[in-house]
Amino acid sequence: MLPATTLIFYGLATFSASKYSIPEIGQLGIKSLLLGLLALIFPAYALLWWLLGFGALHIIYGLYLQLKSKA
């Protein structure tokens, strides 16, 4: 349950922080929250959801924000 709870609380925190930051951070928070809920529903794949949430999502959003700021 630890991967699920870390994703859920991280998603809630980043969604809340989007009020004081760029709006795209809120989208990252919602997606992290959804991956945390998936980790609760499918606990056998919790580490995979955690890897997608903290690994792939950050890389994708980092690239997106980098490309958006250059345009």
Domain ranges of the chain: 2-70
H or E element in which residue 12 lies: helix 2-17
pTM (2 d.p.): 0.87
Count of CB atoms situated within 10 Å of the CB of 19 = 9
Say yes or no to pLDDT of 71 above 80.
no
Q: What is the pLDDT of residue 70?
A: 84
User: In Å, what is the CA distance from 3 to each residue of 29, 50, 59, 60, 64?
Assistant: 15, 6, 19, 20, 25
Residues 33-64 pLDDT 10s: 999 999 999 999 999 999 999 999 999 999 99
Do the beta carbons of residue 43 and residue 4 sit within 8 Å?
A: yes
Residues 6-19 pLDDT 10s: 999 999 999 999 99
| Among 9, 1, 15, 8, CA closest to 36 | 8
